Homo-oligomer: A and B are copies of this chain.
């Protein structure tokens, strides 16, 4: 017997699940560094190199791409100080902070149920249930 949720995930239309703009937002979460970048920026503004060091293992290419996409989506603000050498600072916009707040819940959930999911995967992989 499965308890139904009070508020089931609502489709976009009447039995219509066409892309109602969800991928626009959720697609970002599929990108490896987006969540970590938002996590780091949610603690305060960061310079390019600071982010790069915090997200150990990220390539320059992906650091720049991730920041550009977040900036394009309006989640991140980019400030350039015309010094030599240049100093570029990134920080969350209000929209980005709102976004980060929401995915924070998902991140917490992920941490909490990581074990259950790993167990389920292990069980699935060992059983020849396919």
Contacts and interface: CB of A to CB of B under 8 A. Distances in A.
Contacts of A103: 9, 106
Given A9-B38, A43-B8, A111-B20, A25 B104 contact: no
A22 B37 CA distance: 13
Interface in A14-34: 15-18, 20-27, 29-32
Copies of this protein in the assembly total 2
Interface string A40-84: 101110000000001111000000000010011110000000000
A56 B91 contact: no
A92 to B, nearest CB: 7
Interface of A: 2-5, 7-11, 15-18, 20-27, 29-32, 35-36, 38-40, 42-44, 54-57, 68, 71-74, 91-92, 94-95, 97-107, 109-111, 113-114, 116-121, 123-125, 130
